[in-house]
Amino acid sequence: MKQFLFIMLLLLLLQNTSYSQLWKMKRLEVTGGIGTTQFFGDIGGFSQGENILGIKDFILSQTRFNISSSARYRILSPVAIRINLAGGYFHSSDAKGSNSGRAFESSTLFFEPSAIAEYYLLRNRAERTYHFMKGIGLRKQQKRSHLVDLYLFSGIGQLFYKVNPNEKLESYITGSGGHTLIIPAGIGASLNTGDYYFGAELGGRYTFSDNIDGYTSIYSKSNDIYFLLNLIFTYKIRTKENGLPEFIKSKGRR
């Protein structure tokens, strides 16, 4: 009897271990996204005394758009790394803010490559099943709450930018373009549906430049920052035991 119970317990442990490793079957992902940008520099915005917690600086007319893509690789079940590319526009204007009489305005074209690490606070339960990995009967077998991923991310990157100033700003411009180091950080969530899924991500970027909008004020006390809010489509690629995608053929021995 004891031997039978031992064998049953051993089989159960082996089965749970097998299920816990199912995520390795699809550990490579590619993504595409589209969303908005919100920039905070020395043009526009309200003075601190008029702006509690900076809430008034989030102005719809300053919002512009970006597109992004990335390749993600899961090195552990709760940890992934990705190479991310994003590009778009920032907009800065004194039209609404404490310096409306100054009338500075600029539009900045940017390109942002970055390397990002993700830590998952919540992993979907569905990926522990073979049905999930094969995309069979997913909606019927799983509750929506079991399909959610929630993660934090941070990393390092480079921002390349080109400033287009208006006539008022041209005489005072302190930088027309260049590149700078950035530190991205934020939070993301997704709803898994098998080989593909949809999500949203909000990320802030601290920059090591104060010229991204083309102007540095003598009263500036910090570098420029910006936010990206994106809707993201992700596709999972089936991987082999060695972690490589299945479409990459291994070289045979000679």
- Residue 19, pLDDT score: 41
Task: Confirm whether 225 is domain-assigned.
Answer: yes
Collapsing DSSP to helix, strand or coil, 196 comes out as strand
Sign of CA dihedral 92, 96, 100, 103: positive
Nearest 5°: the CA angle 224, 90, 62 is 95
Instruction: Please state whether the predicted TM-score (pTM) of the whole model is above 0.85.
Output: no
Domain that residue 73 falls in: 28-237
Counting the structural domains of the chain, the total is 1
- Residue 26, pLDDT score: 74
Task: Confirm whether 12 is domain-assigned.
Answer: no
Task: Confirm whether 15 is domain-assigned.
Answer: no
Sign of CA dihedral 182, 187, 191, 194: positive
CATH number of residue 162's parent domain:
2.40.160.20
pLDDT in tens, the chain (254 residues): 545 444 444 443 333 444 456 667 778 899 999 999 999 988 876 555 555 445 566 677 789 999 999 999 999 989 999 999 999 999 998 887 667 778 899 999 999 999 999 999 998 766 655 555 555 545 554 555 568 899 999 999 999 999 999 999 998 999 899 999 999 999 999 987 777 889 999 999 999 999 999 999 888 888 999 999 999 999 988 766 655 656 566 555 44
Task: Confirm whether 253 is domain-assigned.
Answer: no
Task: Confirm whether 182 is domain-assigned.
Answer: yes
- Residue 61, pLDDT score: 76
Task: Confirm whether 126 is domain-assigned.
Answer: yes
